[in-house]
Chain A
Amino acid sequence: MQTGKRRFASVAAVASVTALLLSACSGGSGGQSQSTDEGTAAPDSGDKVTIEFWHRTFTPVENEWYTQIVEDFNNSQDEIFVNDTEIPADAWDQRMKAAQAAGNAPDVYTHAGSIQDAVNAGQLHELNGIVSDDALGQIIDSALPVSAIGDKFYAYPLLLEPQTVLFWNKDMLEAAGLDPEVGPSTWQDLMDACAAIKPTLAAGQFCISPAGDAPTFAWSTVGQQYNFSGHTALNDTWTEPNINDQGYKDLMDSYKALWDNDYMPKQPLGPYVEGREFGEEKVAFKVSGSWMMSEIGSDFPDVLGRTGIGAFPNSPNADGRTATTMGNFKWVVDAKAKNAEAAGKFLEWAIAGDPANLVPFFVETQFTKVPVRMSVQEAVSADAAADDAPWSAIVMNDIAPTAIPEPSYPWDVSLAVGTAIEKVMKGAASTDEAIKTAEDEIRVVIERENLPEKAPSEG
């Protein structure tokens, strides 16, 4: 806290006010006055080390778990005090950017997506040395790409969650004469199902609610791009875009078919990440991340029992490839953390220590997220409530194991592809035009961000 500077700022202000209050005919100038002091409301932490921890607002059960875990940690020892702050979801990006620019980012915070960029920019503290090797060694292989670069760890994962999963309303499928227990396994099955469902719908109801706008396509279809074409948007050396092939065109045309046949609404009925329109039974199919199950459980409990879940339909040439990326949520330590040791201790205690600390998180979120340590996976599946969540097996065994990690290239590359998909879907451009525009945009990013230098050493 730079009291001197603060004093200067507020004295200037206060002095001007006091000057006004003098009404003698001599017109004096404001005297010294005390600065309007405003202590930050950090609870008294004695001579403890204080750690700042920020996390995003998510569903109520997750927010409660965060509050609880910090409280438990603070009560478990008396050397470190963790000050927990919940940041509203739509404020996170700019709040974090601003804090980093001012050099007062929190010591520990939650992190989604790829860590490559952040590591390149030197924003993350290495975990080797502040988190025990034993804890780092417990991370399952599929979570390594999001937590380590080479042999150095920069993030400790809390969970993995498939980002593209198909949900369906069993009653609506049954009403259309379809098998409510089995979802469509290919795009052709999906189109056939919609053809059967469409005549049974009332006004305002639709067959499917998939992603519908460029930014959502950008991150949620990376798995589908891989499913259709066998690769993602850049070549291996990151020197050129790699989206001009039949696979990409077929993917775009598939969405166009959903659009042209009125199987999907012409305007998204709700955010991709939420399940509102599904809970209100406006759609028979809904595409979202696996987490949607827990939202249905908390917001629309009466629909939960009628909800089917399965892998997203495949392209005809999928060849066994997945159609989803594996989203993740990690905790990281800021590179400028004043007490990296203490930050590491807190991180380890909370998410890399006793599995019992994590069990409530996975149980309360309805078994829709994948723990990243075998010990936690076992503890979670041993929980009594696991039997009431038959869908968890589908998420854990059918979808998660093959999912690919999120891309580590910059967001603008994904956004260019997402924009192309939306253009083709809405008939604003042909596949060739849309792909060409996207290629140009990607080349600009490659040049601007100097991507060939940042390409991952191994594919």
Chain B
Amino acid sequence: MAQTTLPPSADLENTSAKTKHDRGGAWWFYTIGKAFFGSVFVVVALFPLAWMVIAGFKSKTEVISTPFQFFPEVWKWENYTQILSDPTFMKTMGWTFMGAILFTLLALTINSLAAYAFARLDFRFKSALWVIVITTMFIPGMTILLTSFVVVSDLGMLDSLAVLVLPGAASAATIFFIRQFYLSIPSSLEEAAMLDGCSRFQIFWRLFLPLSKAPFVVMGITTFLAYWNSYVWPIMTITNPDMYVVQQYLATFRSERSTELGLLMAGSVLAAAPVIILFLIFQKQIIGNIKMAGLK
């Protein structure tokens, strides 16, 4: 059982040529085993999604018909075309996307500024303020669901972009994450910049931001997804159908006394598609950058 762990950068062809010579049988055994387990992971991860796509092609009564049918009788595009041709859907997607981008930018801006100050600067009350920030990390959303609604209502923010974008933007978890990363940047860099006569803010702007790609990508994608998938907060604060976010739009297929299963599944596929495509485009950056800044 002396199987060496290959270095992650190892190239399969090279190693295969070498190891096949060394120990033919064992090597094949391991390779096939790994391929098998890897495939199991892939199938289990993607199957429910595939199921959702297939269900989107079914009519309302076919989705859970008895006896069970894996594929639809007839592959119907109606569910997909009906949603795609609905101008409301397209508008909702655009609106949600814009909100998510805005939310992500705002969150990264506010939180990284605070993270920098807490990581690199000294000021009065710093430790007290830090305790306050960290405390907010442990307040479950459920505790303040009602009272934060009363606050945004008193501020006159209901049915606006502001109510979707502002309340969740400042986040202790994000500040903590980015701060940990900044703590690990050597101070010699800063001192050099200080000698060049740059202000604190410029150091942050010219030096730290370009270095912050990794935590920004990780926190950015998390923040974006949180906005895209939010449901409970929007249904409480947005009643104007023109301002529905995408999860609210999907909820219109589940009314109290009749549920359009096929449409719902098709809609869910279409709602998830842009985010999945985005992820596939940026997957190298995202996956490459997921590191626990500061936890190493």
Consider the complex of A and B and state whether they touch directly, i.e. have CB atoms less than 8 Å apart.
yes
Interface membership of A33, Cβ < 8 A: no
Interface membership of B24, Cβ < 8 A: no
Contact with B along A132-153 (1 / 0, CB 8 A): 0000000000000000000000
Given contacts A27-B199, A27-B202, A88-B248, contact A280 B257 (CB under 8 A): no
Collect the chain A residues with CB atoms within 8 Å of residue B159's CB: 38, 40-41
B154 to chain A, nearest CB (A): 7
- The answer to whether B162 touches A9 (Cβ under 8 A) is yes
Interface membership of B119, Cβ < 8 A: no
For A88, the closest partner residue in chain B by CB is: B251
For B151, the closest partner residue in chain A by CB is: A102
Query: How far, in angstroms, from A53 to B97 measured CA to CA in the complex?
Result: 30
Given contacts A40-B240, A280-B61, contact A89 B255 (CB under 8 A): yes
For B209, the closest partner residue in chain A by CB is: A20
- The answer to whether A25 touches B199 (Cβ under 8 A) is yes
Query: How far, in angstroms, from A58 to B197 measured CA to CA in the complex?
Result: 67
- The answer to whether B106 touches A95 (Cβ under 8 A) is no
For B261, the closest partner residue in chain A by CB is: A276
Interface membership of B46, Cβ < 8 A: no
Contact with A along B242-263 (1 / 0, CB 8 A): 1100001001101111110000
Query: How far, in angstroms, from A79 to B138 measured CA to CA in the complex?
Result: 51
Interface membership of A75, Cβ < 8 A: no
Query: How far, in angstroms, from A49 to B154 measured CA to CA in the complex?
Result: 22
Query: How far, in angstroms, from A205 to B65 measured CA to CA in the complex?
Result: 11
Given contacts A9-B162, A88-B248, A91-B236, contact A101 B150 (CB under 8 A): yes
Collect the chain B residues with CB atoms within 8 Å of residue A128's CB: none
Query: How far, in angstroms, from A60 to B260 measured CA to CA in the complex?
Result: 11
- The answer to whether A104 touches B153 (Cβ under 8 A) is yes
- The answer to whether A41 touches B242 (Cβ under 8 A) is yes
Interface membership of B1, Cβ < 8 A: no
Interface membership of B27, Cβ < 8 A: no
Interface membership of B198, Cβ < 8 A: yes
Collect the chain B residues with CB atoms within 8 Å of residue A88's CB: 235, 248, 251-252, 254-255
Query: How far, in angstroms, from A95 to B149 measured CA to CA in the complex?
Result: 10
The number of chain A residues touching the other chain, given as a range, is: 35 or more
* CB contact list, A65-107 vs B, under 8 A: 85-91, 94-95, 97-99, 101-104
Given contacts A27-B199, A280-B61, contact A5 B154 (CB under 8 A): yes
Interface membership of B45, Cβ < 8 A: no
The number of chain B residues touching the other chain, given as a range, is: 35 or more
Interchain CB contact (< 8 A) of A204 among B66, B146, B200, B251 = B66
For B169, the closest partner residue in chain A by CB is: A13
- The answer to whether B161 touches A102 (Cβ under 8 A) is no
Q: Which of A291-299, A356-364, A369-377 contacts its partner?
A: A291-299
Collect the chain B residues with CB atoms within 8 Å of residue A36's CB: 161-162
Query: How far, in angstroms, from A13 to B170 measured CA to CA in the complex?
Result: 10
* CB contact list, B201-251 vs A, under 8 A: 201-202, 205, 232, 235-236, 239-243, 248, 251
- The answer to whether B256 touches A58 (Cβ under 8 A) is yes
Interchain CB contact (< 8 A) of A295 among B66, B146, B258 = B258
Q: Footprint of B on A, CB under 8 Å? A: 1-3, 5-6, 9-10, 13, 16-17, 20, 23, 25-27, 36, 38, 40-41, 54, 56-60, 63, 85-91, 94-95, 97-99, 101-104, 202-205, 273-274, 276, 279-280, 282, 291, 295, 298-300
Known A102-B150, A203-B67; further 14 A-B contacts with Cβ < 8 A:
A2-B155, A2-B156, A6-B157, A6-B162, A17-B106, A25-B197, A25-B202, A36-B162, A86-B241, A94-B235, A95-B235, A98-B236, A204-B67, A300-B61
Can you report 25 residue pairs joining A to B where beta carbons are below 8 Å apart? A1-B156, A5-B154, A5-B155, A9-B157, A10-B166, A13-B110, A16-B109, A16-B113, A20-B109, A25-B197, A25-B198, A41-B243, A58-B256, A59-B258, A88-B235, A90-B251, A91-B235, A94-B232, A98-B146, A98-B236, A101-B149, A202-B66, A273-B256, A274-B258, A280-B65
